[in-house]
Structure 1
């Protein structure tokens, strides 16, 4: 990066906003402000801005019409269709069968509550328990389909977000949306980006 690029401003021509870097501008241009909401939710019949938003909606279990949809059921469905391992990692067993780690007062180290897995410290027990119930220590279930990229992801939404950001230059934002749409509507058997 040259000294001149350090001070370069990135502007959105449509709404005259400025951004600190090219990636921030690209994410803004791919937001609902400019793209609208055109990714259909298969159960709700309303729309979201992106494939990552749809995946997060389903994986978080926040769709009341999707039955028992959550990150485990989504992974099972995707991995059963991804025999070649395009986006899923092959596992000996299915991930976290729903067991939950709960911290107690025994995690107090004299200063903070300490995670026994990563040694990160928290001011209160509630914060440590939120950390333990988050994907922080979950197994990486997905990987970027770009063989030159080492990206590994706990959730499908994170994989889609990685692809939508175009950070590894494997696929354009629009193509991710099209392939996910085709997969949801049955026009395509697996999400392939080739």
Structure 2
């Protein structure tokens, strides 16, 4: 004879006891964990809370692993993955994301941090492109003056504008030295005129294994690659600074506030407008 203490009943053998437990509402068994609960609610709470179970309580459905459960949540429910929460409606999830996350309500996208969100909001998707390139044969339009300047400095503009030409325009029109360091603008002068120094390497840069930059000692496989490095802004005098007067830090070309601060964006817009007056 075997005894069921919860029901205070005897059974002739183990098989009869198991049959009783399966049929009785007094027994709600998790066979994976070998636990018996007095109510079905208690069993469900166990499935919800126990890490070994991957259970959707809304659908009363089990899944093989956490990935399958999350995929089910995303496909069939209004699910916030970072918070691991389900919502009754799309509106509820939308309101939660607006209050709790770095979230674009128009695109309904989450971002890892505030900077990523702001970068997205300033993209062409939201801000639109309103700053045309003044270079000849270039039809590109940019979202900001800073983006245009990066384009011009890169040397990829069809007009063949170089960083040196951008520096000359900055030196000419930045009369108040908002973004330029006057102590480092001797080569360009207040009018933007002046001559720049071009540096290049010859076969003498070969050190027996690679072509070596005599300024920073970086090594390159080809002489052309070394000269491309020397022609880049890598070793140019850093004539730009983060503007203190516009909530900047004053550092020389070390932070990105000029790309994001609205006042600095306006200033760069005025600067790039002046470029249109030149024959670029």
TM-score range, shorter chain: 0.5 to 0.7
What is the TM-score with the length of structure 2 in the denominator? 0.47
- Are 2:244 and 1:146 equivalent residues in the alignment? yes
Deviation string 1:146-171 (CA, Å, 9 cap, x unpaired) is 16613213xxxx98x54123xxxxx3
| Contact 2:145 2:272 survives alignment (8 Å) | no
The DSSP-based 3-state class of the residue aligned with 2:157 is: coil
Please name the residue that 1:128 is paired with.
226
Are the structure 2 counterparts of residues 42 and 109 from structure 1 closer, same or farther at C-alpha, using a change threshold of 3 Å? same
Q: Report if the CA contact (8 A) 1:31-1:49 is conserved.
A: yes
Aligned to 1:116: 214
Per-residue deviation, 1:46? 5.8
What TM-score results when the alignment is normalised by the length of structure 1?
Answer: 0.64
Q: 1:149 to 1:103 in 2, by over 3 A?
A: farther
Q: Which segments of 5 or more consecutive residues in structure 1 lack a partner in the other structure?
A: 1-7, 166-170, 187-194
Q: Which residue matches 1:107? A: 206
Q: Which of the pair is proportionally richer in strand? A: 2
Deviation at 1:27, TM superposition (A): 1.2
Distance in 1, matches of 2:219 and 2:145, equals 34
RMSD of equivalent CA atoms: 3.5
**Where do 1:1-194 residues align within 5 Å?**
10-42=102-134, 47-59=141-153, 60=155, 62-64=157-159, 69-90=161-182, 91-94=185-188, 97=196, 99-104=198-203, 106-108=205-207, 110=209, 112-146=210-244, 149-153=249-253, 162-165=257-260, 171-172=261-262, 175-185=263-273
Whether the 8 Å contact between 1:29 and 1:35 is mirrored in structure 2 is yes
Kept in 2, the 8 Å contact 1:39–1:177? The answer is no
State the SS of the aligned residue for 1:34.
Answer: coil
Query: Unaligned regions of 5+ residues in structure 2, if any?
Result: 1-99, 189-193, 275-280
Larger Rg: 2
How many angstroms does 1:132 deviate by? 1.7
